[in-house]
Amino acid sequence: MQDCHIHSNYSDGTFLSAMVRAAEETEFTGVGFADHCNVSPRDVMADTRALQGFNLDVTYERRRRAIRRLREDAAVEIHDAVEVDYEPRDETRIRNFLEEGEFDYALGSVHWIDDANVQVESNFSGKTADELDAIVDRYFEKLVALVESELFEVAAHVDLVERTEALRGRATREHYRRTARALADSRTIPEINAGRALTDAGVVHPDSGFLDVLREYDIPVAVGTDSHRPDEIGRRAEFLAELLADRDLEPVAPPEFRS
């Protein structure tokens, strides 16, 4: 089992070396640093880059140098990856960045709908049920566009709206089927993401209903702990190992993403 999705101090995580040491103490045979990056020129995204440091398009060569050094002594494989915020208007910019960066693989993620982050509860206060349903519709429309763009090896946390109480439970079977049909025709692989699995909300991406649909369409999956701190990796790795065993799943590892 390889963790395709952890973060470091090159976005909103902990020092690279500390994350590698924590991964070495698990049953993972490899980890992928997939730090956040947003290449959009719009003001709200420029503000996000400035506030949160999602600037891997500027710093990836420096991080790559550190990864090469860590590979010399590490007991796990270390993959040089990236997690890019997807927006259809930015496809040319994203493609140019990924071609220039030549990462081992790229994760694509949908975090924003109408310039509102879908993980921020306050963005949805006061909205009607119809308005919330429309936001979830737009989320899955953008997710399908991400898959169809063929820009990414992995689609990250494919039902991210479940993290937000106001949006939770609004996804439908048809949302899942539409996404699965797109994935079946694409090289893009969804991940099983444990980033909120051990919180009070107990959210696993994809949820069990979505995972059932993916299995129905025979869609392979990768696994990602989405860890930002060393102490998260081991607990999430154990959770993922149990989930995979319960569901009789054999995940795809990063070396196979391009096959």
Complete DSSP assignment for 68-107: HHHHTT-SSEEEEEEEEE--GGGHHHHHHHHHHH--SEEE
**Which pLDDT value is given to residue 259?**
56
Q: Each residue of 69-109: pLDDT tens digit?
A: 999 999 999 999 999 999 999 999 999 999 999 999 999 99
Q: Which two tokens stand for residue 34?
A: 């997939």
The first and second tokens of residue 251, run together, are 């995940």
Q: Three-state DSSP class for 22?
A: helix
State residue 219's pLDDT score. 97
Q: Looking at residues 111-130, what average pLDDT do you find?
A: 94
pLDDT of residue 247: 95
> Which of the two residues, 225 and 255, has the higher pLDDT score?
225
Q: Domain boundaries in the chain? A: 2-256
Enter the DSSP assignment of 252.
P
pLDDT confidence tier of residue 48, bands split at 50, 70 and 90: confident
Q: How confident is the model at residue 7 (pLDDT cuts 50, 70, 90)?
A: very high
What is the percentage of the chain residues whose pLDDT exceeds 90? 90
- Alpha helix ranges (H) inside the chain: 16-24, 43-52, 56-71, 91-101, 129-149, 173-184, 208-216, 230-247
Question: What tens digit of pLDDT does each residue of 173-185 get?
Answer: 999 999 999 999 9
Q: Taking all residues of the chain, what is their mean pLDDT, rounded to a whole number? A: 95
Q: Does the domain at residues 2-256 carry the CATH identifier 3.20.20.140?
A: yes
For range 143-163, the mean pLDDT: 98
The predicted pLDDT at position 89 comes to: 94
State the first-to-last Cα distance of the chain, in angstroms, to the nearest integer: 17
246, two tokens:
């319960």
